[in-house]
Amino acid sequence: MKYLNELVTQLQNDKIPMIPCTMEELNEVKKLIGTNKLPEAYIEFLEVMGGGTEHTFLRGESCFIDELLELNEWGAELLEENKVPLKLTCNDFVFWMSQGCMFCFFKLNEGENPPVYFYSEGKKKEGFYKIADTFAEFLQRRYLRDKYVFQKKD
């Protein structure tokens, strides 16, 4: 494990059970993006905890395999409902959504541990903006319950 080693070690030390995706589920996600390639950090996430966690970490948030395949569609629908001039492209991968009113995504062509971008209907005038320099940083900050995780990064 290259990108999520520190986080996974923390979760293990805190005795938080993690459920991996099956190989079949991982292939479903890969099929979803067609000829694009998933970043390595995200593949690590799926392989270690893509099936869920049995604790408060990311619970109640849409990011695990049970809802994962719908997230891009739901993100596009949210943008449409909010009548904003923003569109998700086939290069954008929505990996996290909360309460149907906000989502996070990364661009499939921005490296193995890509920056994370955010959209919220409460801040729709700001459009998409970067909130983490890497996917691993986003997960770490969610685990630490960083209340500033959704603020714009310079």
User: Regarding the domain delimited by 5-143, which CATH topology (the fold level of the hierarchy) does it fall under?
Assistant: SMI1/KNR4-like (3.40.1580)
Name the one residue in this structure whose structure tokens are 């805190």.
Answer: 14
Cα-trace Rg, the chain: 15
Q: What 3-state DSSP class applies to 81?
A: helix
Split the chain (154 residues) into runs of 10 and give each run's mean pLDDT: 94 95 95 92 97 89 95 96 92 95 97 97 85 97 93 85
Predicted pLDDT of residue 38:
95
User: What residue segments make up the domains of the chain, in order of their start?
Assistant: 5-143
Model's pTM, two decimal places? 0.94
